[in-house]
Structure 1
Amino acid sequence: MPAIEVLPRTATTALVTVVLPCFNEESVLRETHSRLTRALRPGRRVAYEILYVDDGSTDGTWSLIEEFASTSESVRALRLSRNFGHQAGCLAGLKEAAGDATVVIDADLQDPPELIPEMVARWWDGWSVVSARRTGRLGEGVLKRASAFAYYRVLNGISDHPVALDTGDFRLLDRSVVDLLADMGDHELFLRGAISWAGLPETVVEYQRDPRASGESKYTVRKMLELSRRGVISGSALPVRATTAVGLASMASAAGLGLVRRDPEAARTACALGVLAVAIGVLGEYVNATLRHVQGRPPFVVRERIHPRQPAAAPRAVLAGAAR
């Protein structure tokens, strides 16, 4: 893996790629594109390109993306062969991004495109990572807000490195960070964890997350659990180590209970089997993650490209510029 060199922003004009992973967003995508193009308003120092990543949509999402791209060469797109998942869609966009910096933002308008110019201004000041921190989550139930609050703090507590609290994948990443993530070879990328692991200079801008403008969340309970599992497995060895402590404590408790009931052997055996089952399950998760890595399969397959990435020396298409 190449070493990272963080360079100061000295160029008179820089390109920022805005990556939007999409999965069945037909009902909201036209409004998203309209707000995005208005937010990326003209300026002198920064030009933008928009990169849509269709993660195997089955509705009219790709047709809309084709329509947007037909009106501007600065609107580019990837179409994946099937639904590989949100993190794979983000990674596909990062690998394809041509910008000096890249912003990842969801297409459902819960994250405001209008915040991007402020993030770019922070990047221009020298920050390698600009994360958007949620101060509120409108339109989400108490259980969702509570579980998200708890998850980030538990993850930060058990992780081998600090993890930014209350931040999702809505971030601006310097070219050096994008190249690092693209070259990592992590087939089960947990984007926010990998960014925190890098430990590069990071600042935050705060915002209140809006309800979805239209449609339903594509993050089902199963997908949220999978993302949570990936975050824990990729960032901490604590679950494996915890089984030893749990096993010892359980054995001690079972031994005491067995002595009271005058059947210590049965109690110890039952407890040991339970602890063994938990330990095997936890270890199995790490073994499965290792298997996925050594299989060497790509994390996504690109079916189609619109306005594919050009060599670095080629002229850049300019959609709009930052206000700063």
Structure 2
Amino acid sequence: MARNQNPLISIVLPVFNEEEGIRHTIEILESYVASQPEDYELIFVDDGCVDRSAAIIQEAEQQYNNIRLVQFSRNFGHQLAITAGIRYASGDAVVVMDADLQDPPSVIPAMVKKWHEGYDVVYGKRLQRDGESWFKKASASAFYRILHKFANIDIPLDTGDFRLMDRQVVKVLSKMDEPDPFVRGMVSWVGFKQTAVEYERDERTAGTTKYPLSKMLHLSMNGITSFSDVPLKLVNVAGFIMIAIGVIYGFISLFTGFATLQFAIFSMFELFGISALMLGIVSAYLYRIFETSRERPLYVVAKTSGFERHQSEVKHINTM
């Protein structure tokens, strides 16, 4: 498919308490876009920051006319910040990346090149993750492989949210009102022509990670319950195992008289533990249904800035 030879590329950056490094991020990105042939807009989504991140971005708006800011009324989460950002983006293509610059802007030209070749989605595939603990690397690797094995769609290994998406892909994603989205899975689900660009992830330049173990586990559960029914099938398997254990234990007790108190207590705890695990898995799926049924807004935007200036510029150009 032929692409616009003078396109507008939107870069969406979720931001949560990045005061220590956000000014450096803006300077690096502005230096990058100034050297590119395409036009760029930078859309920062303030995901309920309680530091000066939003104020620093607003200061930068006075210096650069391609900066836009979307401010949530509170913290709604990284995935919903991405969702809001792509909905506000007006580019022919949209790049999603984190504001800590671990995903380097130097990879974007390769993505744009693939886009011009006709690919609708170009995702970054990590070859190396600098500056992260062995546990973070091991747990992330295990998650991607478990999800890849269990998911009912092909979610590429070792890929995060760093990717370029064509406007038609963004239009489809903008219509998907999932209350707890797993964006990288949704992008795989919509299809279109997709390919990878390999890169080495850099070490965070400032601040601390905003994805501790608890959030990683939550994201993992979202990914699995959104795109796989294997846990529900495992519940059935576990149920049959519990029944089999009960029958076998009953026959052993009946014909051998082997029925000690310790074994009975052990069996009881095992069965209760498996039952609780099964109930937890089913509850995770039911909660997703409950969240959807409430029909609340996915997020609340307190205010935006930078978009009015952009619209006036477009209107001025159209009237010339």
Tell me if both proteins adopt one fold, taking TM over 0.5 as the criterion.
Answer: yes
Q: Extract unaligned runs of 5+ from structure 1.
A: 1-7, 318-324
Aligned counterpart, 1:19: 12
Structure 2 distance, partners of 1:216, 1:274, is 36
Secondary structure of 1:26's counterpart equals: coil
Aligned counterpart, 1:121: 113
Q: Does residue 159 of structure 2 align to residue 160 of structure 1?
A: no
Amino acid at match of 2:314: A
Per-residue deviation, residues 151-185 of structure 1 (Å, max 9, x unmatched): 10100101011111100000001111111111011
Cα shift at 1:9? 2.9
CA contact (8 A) 2:3 2:118 kept: no
Structure-2 change in CA distance of 1:179 and 1:203 (3 Å): same
Structure with greater helix share of residues = 2
Secondary structure of 2:21's counterpart equals: helix
Q: Does residue 82 of structure 2 align to residue 90 of structure 1?
A: yes
Structure 1 distance, partners of 2:14, 2:21, is 13
Structure 1 window deviating more from structure 2 (250-259 vs 168-177): it is 250-259
Structure 1 distance, partners of 2:242, 2:83, is 42
CA contact (8 A) 2:47 2:78 kept: yes
Structure 2 distance, partners of 1:10, 1:293, is 36
Over the aligned positions, Cα root-mean-square deviation in angstroms equals: 2.3
Amino acid at match of 2:186: A
Aligned counterpart, 1:150: 142
Cα shift at 1:311? 6.5
Cα shift at 1:263? 4.3
Aligned counterpart, 1:4: none
| Correspondent of 1:74 among 54, 66, 71 | 66
Structure 1 distance, partners of 2:283, 2:313, is 47
How many residue pairs were aligned? 309
Structure 2 distance, partners of 1:246, 1:313, is 62
Structure 2 distance, partners of 1:30, 1:89, is 19
Q: Does residue 56 of structure 2 align to residue 64 of structure 1?
A: yes
Amino acid at match of 2:304: R
TM-score of the aligned structures, taking structure 2 as reference length: 0.90
| Correspondent of 1:111 among 87, 100, 103 | 103
CA contact (8 A) 1:17 1:50 kept: yes
Cα shift at 1:188? 1.2
Q: Extract unaligned runs of 5+ from structure 2.
A: none
User: Relative contact order, CA 8 A, sep 6+: which one is greater?
Assistant: 1
Secondary structure of 2:285's counterpart equals: helix
Structure 2 distance, partners of 1:228, 1:316, is 46
Cα shift at 1:275? 3.4
Structure-2 change in CA distance of 1:87 and 1:116 (3 Å): same
Per-residue deviation, residues 55-99 of structure 1 (Å, max 9, x unmatched): 011111011110111123311110111111100110010110000
Aligned counterpart, 1:304: 303
Secondary structure of 1:150's counterpart equals: helix
Q: State the structure with more CA Rg.
A: 2
Q: Give the % identical residues.
A: 37
CA contact (8 A) 1:251 1:271 kept: no
Amino acid at match of 1:22: V
For residues 33-72 of structure 1, the aligned pairs below 5 Å read: 33-44=26-37, 46-72=38-64
Structure-2 change in CA distance of 1:20 and 1:278 (3 Å): same
Structure-2 change in CA distance of 1:84 and 1:316 (3 Å): farther
Amino acid at match of 1:224: M
CA contact (8 A) 1:251 1:272 kept: no
